[in-house]
Amino acid sequence: MSQLINLMLSLVLGLTLLMPGAPAQARTELPQFADLVELAGPAVVNIRTTAARRSNGRTRIPLPEGMDENDPFFEFFRRFFPPGEGGPGGPGGRSPDRPDEREDRDQPQVPRGVGSGFVFTSDGYVMTNHHVVDGADEIFVTFSDDREFKAKLIGSDKRTDVGVLKIDATELPSLTIGDPNKVRVGEWVLAIGSPFGLNNTVTAGIVSAKGRDTGDYLPFIQTDVAVNPGNSGGPLINMNGEVIGINSQIYSRTGGFMGISFAIPIDEAMNVANQLREEGRVVRGRIGVGIAEVTKEIAEPLGLPNADGALVRSVAEDGPAEAGGVQIGDIIVEFDGREITKASDLPRIVGGTKPGTAVSMKVWRKGVEKSLKLTVGEMTPERGAAAAKPAPEKRERADASANSLGLGVTTLPADKAREMRVPGGVLVEAVEGPARETGLRPGDVVLTINNVDVDSVPKFNATTAKLEPGKTAVLLVQRGESAQYVPLKPAS
């Protein structure tokens, strides 16, 4: 009886799928990846790196106590806890007990890490991640047919996590470069790499999102493809067999796959790779501003139609932005004809602009859109961040009065205004009531309230007296070298 019921259900289901009105996705067959793997697999490589053993017998790689270099999680810890970023060895991997790294040249080489890559030109250029090859003394590239080559590092870029290698070989299988802008959320994609050192492992999934911000320089392609430590640098391939991204990051609490992985769009990666091949470095534009996101709480009181743009928190001295008239508190809404919808758009667009280019820019300033012109400069190589300046010492309160914001202030001294490079403001010396909940603190400098300059205590008092109780006011506040808008509701 049960067999008869199952047969009838199968017939009904089959007829449903064949009906003209059946949903398209119900009639679509699952993709066959075997042909894609045969086509792309030969161009995907395993990348193995080595580093000189230190004279004290330890490698340069900071590992959890007791972890062996051959442990499957070795590459994961090398990726997320590199030398010079909080791990043993200090900045750049140099340790106080090893003043000269030249000592390592005669030391034996030991395994350092494993990753993936792919050939993108038949004459031997290989693309991978910066973090896969960063700090390696020797790099070896292995193909699926077990051919192994020693590779030369052409260059790598930390900001985009792209690295380019060259091996001495010709007529190599290579992958076709696709267009990530044509990628659709929900379409099938394929990853080939060496997770945990397991060469030529194939995993598949779908595109989960595009233009995903993770705090890095590029907008990532998010997928649910199984990507694990060792997959880094391998290709993300569409159903046409084209590379659309480089697998670069995973979201994980354990070091293993959790259904969220990120790939660098291949068009951005190729731009970097071409510069590394031609110039040996990546040239980026800069305008010299520190920025932050624009929130709805800030946009509405400032009269900005939408919470779009990049808020200028600081302006570099003698930089292109300062020369072009950009001011702290401006909201950049357009750069070189391209809209800035979120703060992270600006560094990508500016970085992709050739230094020396004259561009126009639109900013929202005190309720009015203004057009500015400036010449893009060149971004200097990455360096350590400067130490933050200490907040001004608390001085005896003078000319401060109670107000609906809960701020006790005094006029900013002229020498302090010159040091902070602001036209004027009031120095916060006491924080009470509503202001305390916003995180304001003594030493902050209030520059404007609801787009009105407050360059003295009388001006501050007059402005705060006009505020409506319970209606959000927006203060432009500078702390140290940067500024931001702070929404604050006056007390009744």
Catalytic amino acids?
Answer: 131, 161, 232
Among 344, 193, 304, 338, which Cα is nearest to 257's? Answer: 193
CA distance 403 to 434: 10
- DSSP characters for 179-215? -GGG--TT-EEEEEE-GGG-TTEEEEEEEEEEEE--S
What is the sign, positive or negative, of the torsion defined by CA atoms of 401, 404, 410, 411? negative
- Token duo for residue 263: 């790939």
Q: E strand or H helix at 428, and its extent?
A: strand 426-431
Residue type, 103: E
Closest CA to 104 of 166, 134, 59: 59
**422-to-441, 446, 453, 478 alpha-carbon distances in Å:** 19, 11, 11, 9
Residue (of 29, 130, 39) closest to 78 by Cα position? 130
In sequence order, the β-bridge partners of residue 407 are 431
- What is the rounded CA–CA span in Å between residue 162 and residue 165? 10
Q: Which of 244, 233, 200, 227 is nearest to 37 (CA)?
A: 200
Torsion region of 367: left, alpha or beta (phi above 0 gives left; psi -120 to 50 gives alpha):
left
Burial class (CB in 10 A: 0-12, 13-18, 19+), 80: middle
